[in-house]
Every structure is written in C-alpha cells, then in structure tokens.
Amino acid sequence: MRTLIWAVLGLGVVPQALAADTLSTKGFNLCMTDSDIKVQNLDVSYTRSTNEVVFDVAGTNAKKQKVIATLTVTAYGNELYSKTFDPCGSEIHVDQLCPVPAGTFSASGSYNIPDNYASQIPAIAFNIPDLDGQAKMTLKGEDGNNVACVESELSNGKSTSVKGVAWASAGIAAGALALSGLSAVGAAGHPGASSSSPGFGDVMGWFHSMATNGMLSVSYPTVYSSFTKNFAWSTGLISWDNMQHSIDDFRKATGGNLTQNSYTYLYDVSSSTTSSSNSTTTKRGLDMVLRVGGDLLVRSVETSQSDSTNSSSSSSSNSGDISWDDLTSVKGLEKVGNELMIPSANIFMTVLLIFAIVVAVVVVGILLVKVILEIWALYGNFPAKLATFRKDYWGLMARTITNMILVLYSIWVLYCVYQLKNGDSWAAKLLAAVTLAVFTAVLAFFAWRIIHMARKYKKAEGDTAALYDNKETWRKYSLFYDNYKKDFWWLFVPIIVYSLAKGCIIAGAQGHGLAQSAGQLVVEALLLILLLWNRPYVTKSSMGINMTIQIVRVLSVACVLVFVEELGLSQTTKTVTGIVLIVIQSTLTGVLAILIAVNAIIMCIRENPHAKRRKEAEKADRDLDDLTPLDARESLLIDHPPKRDYNEVNKFNFTGPYEPYRDQPYNRPGSNGSRENLVYADYGVAHDRSSSQQSRHSGRRSPSLEGRHPTTAGYGMAY
C-alpha cells in the first residue's frame, strides 16, 4: 500500500543514505520558562538497524545541581517510547551531567534500546514523509521539581515538500499556457470558437485551490502542509534575498516594525537552527559510518568552555530566545510565509512585485512579437492568419492583462484583505486598497459592458447569439464567456462573485479555522450546485474537467474540516486524511497534465477545425458563383408552387373571410359581380402592376385597386 501511495504521489523523494533508517530531531523548542537550566541545543537520533539512541545536549546552568532526565518520544499523539535515567547511574552514565555544572555545559552519548521497546516503534514511521512526531527531554532536580524542559520535532529525512514537484507543476501551467495560446492563434477571426480544455485558467485555478487549502488557521498534519507548499508559487509567494530586503526597507520607511517581522530576523533564526543541526548531523553521520565497520562507538563527551560561550552568545543574539519552532508554530498564512522565508508583513508586497514582474514580461513579450511581425511583413511573406495580431497589439495586451486579473482575482482579494487587516505599513495598505479597487472596477466594468450589449442584442435580434457571432464583440469580450454555451454567457458574473467571497473568507477569518473552513465549504458547494444545475460548458471535455475540479474542491474543503481543533479529532485521523487528500489532489493534477499533453498531440496531427470550416465556406462560395444570375422570382433555390390557371379561379379554396363565398367568388361584397374587379392574393398581399403599391388584404378588396385590371397571383404576391 505504501508503494502504491508513493507511485500515485510521484514525488520522487529519495531519502539520503544516512537518514534512510534513522529518526532524528529537527530544531528544538523550550517547553518551560524561568528555569535554572537553559537548554540551547538538543539533538537526538534513533537508528533502527542498531537500536541505538544518540543524544547531544548543550546549555547553561545557574547553579551546580543533580538532575534526573526523562526522554519521551511520541508520534501522531501516541507515546512510542519513554525512558528515565540518572546521568550518574550505572546504566547510562554521562559525566558532564553528573552533576550539571554551573555555567555552560555540553554533553553527548549513546545507548541501546531494548528490543521490547524498539519493537513498539512502527515501521511506517521510517517511511511516511513528514513524520508528525516529537522528542521531549525533561530534567528534574533533587527535590523532584522540573528544572528544564525542551522538545523537538522528529524527522525521518523524507518530505512531501519537494522542489521537483514545484517545478513540475510550473511546467504543467506553462504547457497549458502554450496550448491556450496556440488555440487562440488557430481560432483567430473565428467568432464562437472555444479554447481547448484544460486551459491555463483551469490549471491555475486548481493550483490556487491546493495552495489556499494550506493557508487556513487549522492544525494541519505536517505531511499535508508540506505538500501544499509545492504550489505556493502559483499564488505569487516567490521570494529571494534582495527583494525581501527591499521590501523591509520600504516598510521601515513607511511605518513598519522590523523587530521580529523582517527577512533578516527570519534568516538569523533559521540559520542558527540550521547550523547547529547540520553540525550535529555531520558528527552523527561519522558515528554511523564507524558503526557500519562493526564498532559500536559510545561517543566521548566533549567539553569546551570557550566554544560553548561563543555558541551561547551567538544563539542569544540571533534568535533572542525565539526558536524556529516558535516561528512555525503559528497558523494560517503567517505560518506559510515564515516557512517560505517571507515575513507575514511582506506577503502582500511580495505578491505585488511578482505580479508587476509578470506584467512587465508580458508587455515586453508582446512588443517583441510586434517587432518580429513588422520585420516579417516588410521582408517576408506574411501569413494571413497573423494579420489580426499584427493590427491589434494594444488590444491583445489589454486583453491579456485583463485575463490575468480574472485568473488571479481570488488570490488578489485574499492578499489585499490580509494586508489591510494585518499590515503595519501605511503605504502597503494604501497600495492594497488601490489595487483591489482597480481590479474590482475593471472586472465590474467588463461585466456591465457585456450585460449591456447582451440586452441590446436581445432587444434588436431576439437573443444574445451576437455575443458569439459578432466578430468584434467576440474579440473584445470572449475571454469572459468563451467556454460557456450561448444561453449561459452570464455565468462569469457568479464566478467573479465566488472569487471575491472566497478571498474575503480566507483572509478576513484568519485565526478562526472553523469559520474559514465552513464559509469556504458553503461557497464551493454553491458553485458546484450552480454548475451541476446548468451544465454550462460548450464541450464535453470542458464539462467533465471543470465539474471534476469543482467536486474535488468541495471534498478537499470538507476534509480540511477534519483538521479543525474544535472538532477534537485524533492526530492519526488527521494524518490519514492528509494522505488521502494528497493522493486525490495529486491524481487530479496528473490527469490534467495528461490531458494537456493529449490536446497538444491532437493539435499537431489534426487539421485545424477553424481552418477546415473556412475552406468549406470558400468552396460553397465558389459553387454559388458558378450559377447563372436569375431573377429572384425564378431562383432555383426557391421551391415554387405550381402556377395556377386563371380560368380555374373557381377551384380556389378560399378560407378565412372568404369562406362564405368560396363557391361564388364574383358575388363578394364590393365586386359588383365583375370579374375585372377581383384581385387574388394567396397570402393577403396585393400588388398593383401600374402603381407598385402594396396593401395587406384583410378579407376585402383594397379600395386603391377599385376598377383596376385583375392580375395573376403567384407565390404570395399578385403582379
């Protein structure tokens, strides 16, 4: 089963050789304050092949004292192992803790775990990524009171947060973008042509859903929170040093507080934890290499007063008694930012700069295409299919930027509302308010414009088909409704409202996981009901893909409810739910990737349907040009009724007002019994040959035709 899960995930995680059979601590966190003993470093590792525990602890002590140590290991809320020992005892003797000296101290050692304890550690703990376990060491004084407490997370060297997954997802989005662009080129000048599915908007919307599922204020299992970080790039959470330093400077100049909310602070705390961990990992790796040779080594205890003093001062200055675990123990968007090395106060400005960079790349790219096409038109045989793009660069640029706003609107609402609620820089808040208002106004304008045109077309033509059939209208506005059937062009409006509501719920309810989850579940369920009720998509592929994505969104948010603390579910249940979510979401992502590849292959080997339709229309035009020009009344394309003999007028079967006189046509009112005063009109229209006047026949002879000569009626008109 584990093999199947890894195959479905496709994460490609290959654990390091030294960590393949080992559980080890990662960082540490003080679980007791105001104690005489200050632990500054704790590293504990357990190797399954040797049943050996190796520990390394360092810190400071206010006074010399004897202690009793207790080491407890838990996983998913269940205690796996607990051991109490006296550092001065015979079973585990540690000179440096017997007794704990005043000042700084450093001690390390190793001991074997009995088989009856080792058998209690499940094998899955060494295989499941992002093991949700903790190691806790408590020191008690001679009076039995706790004098120190420190805990650390356990790791087996495997994680669902893999750079390869992030790059692969970015590649899928790039493929969808390229495929959508090629489809747009092929459909240029063909109103009503829908783009291929899944498109760029479908893929990015799905990645946004996976990323935001990890931004709620709930107690995620580590395995799932790490997985969602692979898709944080799709929401604009991309960081590098120079950008963050620039944002810190901007915030500092506009009222921001950088004391414990800056990139420098995050970097210092992270570096302090990482450096100590790497140092211990190197020593532990050397010990393991020596043990492979067959020698069980009990590490000699090292005491270095000067080194410990330097380490103590460095750690104190860097972290200010704040560990990396403290920074990542928060919840919601703040935790995601800290793990990605983006301070919470920098999140909005980071996304804003990333968006500005993307817009700049788009503008430069379109201008570059303009230069290439202009040179091509001057010195080469310019293809007719690209003429539309050549004439409409600025319109193409505006539509591209508008499409970006439409795709990113939900995410933009999320970050703007978060900045307005939690930001500390007045300038950043102003930018958030202005950009949110501008983006909302742009979408509201297009919504109003499309609705206005739809009403105009419906009033003039009886329906709104011109939104799809009119070339100019299609070119300007189709990005909002091109995937929908003609009767459901309006569906983009509730989609925009859905995006607005979703972003406001996630950002506005930060810190309240139950409200976030329940509110998001309601919004997602309402959209699903709307789609299932109307089934609005043009093609079956679009229908199936978008329905599936929305169903998985609803199920995902429902599963996130399991992580809400108020429900009080066990950690094991949360972890199992997290793994199920990973499998489902990874499977759907893989399906989207396969469909994009299939669409690309079909596009390469199949004749462009729009070009095929154009060729058929041209052939039909040529066939019509070969016909001999005829009078409209004698057109071969019209199915004429047989001509009637004037002498057989008595055989006409008059109906309606003529019904009483069908047997005596010459005795109708006003006819004076005269054959010359009768005008025959099969469809109620009489035409006077001399005056060319027409009048509706309502069962009586037209007064204007009094005394005129009769004419023969044919095909609804009398000439």
Q: How far is CA 642 from CA 234, 629, 680, 684, 713, in A?
A: 70, 22, 16, 18, 11
Q: What pLDDT, on the 0 to 100 scale, is given for residue 455?
A: 92
User: Does residue 556 or residue 120 have the better pLDDT?
Assistant: 556
Q: What pLDDT, on the 0 to 100 scale, is given for residue 374?
A: 81
pLDDT at 514 over 60: yes
User: Does residue 442 or residue 314 have the better pLDDT?
Assistant: 442
pLDDT at 426 over 50: yes
pLDDT at 281 over 70: no
CA 665 to chain centre: 78
pLDDT at 11 over 50: no
Q: What pLDDT, on the 0 to 100 scale, is given for residue 406?
A: 93
Q: What pLDDT, on the 0 to 100 scale, is given for residue 717?
A: 41
pLDDT at 510 over 80: yes
Work out the percent of the chain whose per-residue pLDDT is above 70: 69
In this prediction, residue 695 has a pLDDT band, given cuts at 50, 70 and 90, of very low
Q: What pLDDT, on the 0 to 100 scale, is given for residue 693?
A: 42
The winner for highest mean pLDDT among 31-35, 90-94, 574-578, 610-614 is 574-578
- Section 106-123 average pLDDT: 74
In this prediction, residue 151 has a pLDDT band, given cuts at 50, 70 and 90, of confident
Give me the amino acid identity at 253: A
Q: What pLDDT, on the 0 to 100 scale, is given for residue 430?
A: 95
CA 600 to chain centre: 22
Radius of gyration of the chain from Cα atoms?
A: 39
In this prediction, residue 601 has a pLDDT band, given cuts at 50, 70 and 90, of confident
Q: What are the two backbone dihedrals, phi and then psi, of residue 523, each rounded to the nearest 5 degrees?
A: -65, -45
Give kind and range of the element (H or E) at residue 81.
Answer: strand 78-85
Q: Which of 17-21, 463-467, 555-559 has the lowest mean pLDDT?
A: 17-21
Q: What pLDDT, on the 0 to 100 scale, is given for residue 604?
A: 66
In this prediction, residue 87 has a pLDDT band, given cuts at 50, 70 and 90, of confident
- Section 670-682 average pLDDT: 44
Q: What pLDDT, on the 0 to 100 scale, is given for residue 233?
A: 93
Give me the amino acid identity at 219: S
Work out the percent of the chain whose per-residue pLDDT is above 90: 25
User: Phi-psi category of 216—alpha, beta or left, where left has phi over 0 and alpha has psi -120 to 50?
Assistant: beta
In this prediction, residue 52 has a pLDDT band, given cuts at 50, 70 and 90, of confident
pLDDT at 108 over 70: yes
pLDDT at 405 over 50: yes
Q: What pLDDT, on the 0 to 100 scale, is given for residue 620?
A: 65
CB atoms within 10 A of CB 33: 8
Give me 88's structure tokens.
């001065």
User: Does residue 349 or residue 18 have the better pLDDT?
Assistant: 349
Number of helices and strands in the chain (H, E): 21, 12
Q: What pLDDT, on the 0 to 100 scale, is given for residue 707?
A: 45
Q: What is the mean pLDDT of the chain?
A: 74
Gap between the Cα atoms of 263 and 273, Å rounded: 16
Q: What pLDDT, on the 0 to 100 scale, is given for residue 712?
A: 40
The DSSP bridge partners found for residue 42 are 57
Q: Which of 329-343, 548-562, 669-683 has the lowest mean pLDDT?
A: 669-683
User: Does residue 506 or residue 135 have the better pLDDT?
Assistant: 506
SS (H, E, C) 534-601: HCCECCHHHHHHHHHHHHHHHHHHHHHHHHCHHHCCCHHHHHHHHHHHHHHHHHHHHHHHHHHHHHHH
pLDDT single digits (tens) 301-343: 333 333 333 333 333 334 445 555 566 667 889 889 888 889 9
Q: What pLDDT, on the 0 to 100 scale, is given for residue 657?
A: 46
Q: What pLDDT, on the 0 to 100 scale, is given for residue 450?
A: 94
pLDDT single digits (tens) 189-239: 555 555 566 788 889 999 999 999 999 999 898 889 999 999 999 999 998
User: Does residue 693 or residue 537 have the better pLDDT?
Assistant: 537
Second-level CATH architecture of 17-155: Sandwich (2.60)
Handedness of CA 193, 199, 205, 210 (dihedral sign): positive
- Section 288-313 average pLDDT: 35
User: Does residue 30 or residue 404 have the better pLDDT?
Assistant: 404
- SS3 of residue 628 by DSSP: coil
Q: What pLDDT, on the 0 to 100 scale, is given for residue 558?
A: 93
Q: What pLDDT, on the 0 to 100 scale, is given for residue 625?
A: 55
Q: What pLDDT, on the 0 to 100 scale, is given for residue 366?
A: 83
User: Does residue 576 or residue 661 have the better pLDDT?
Assistant: 576
Q: What pLDDT, on the 0 to 100 scale, is given for residue 376?
A: 82
Helix ranges (H only) for 80-161 are 115-118
Q: What pLDDT, on the 0 to 100 scale, is given for residue 294?
A: 35
Q: What pLDDT, on the 0 to 100 scale, is given for residue 627?
A: 52
Give me the amino acid identity at 210: M
Which part of the chain has CATH 2.60.40.770?
Answer: 17-155
pLDDT at 504 over 90: yes
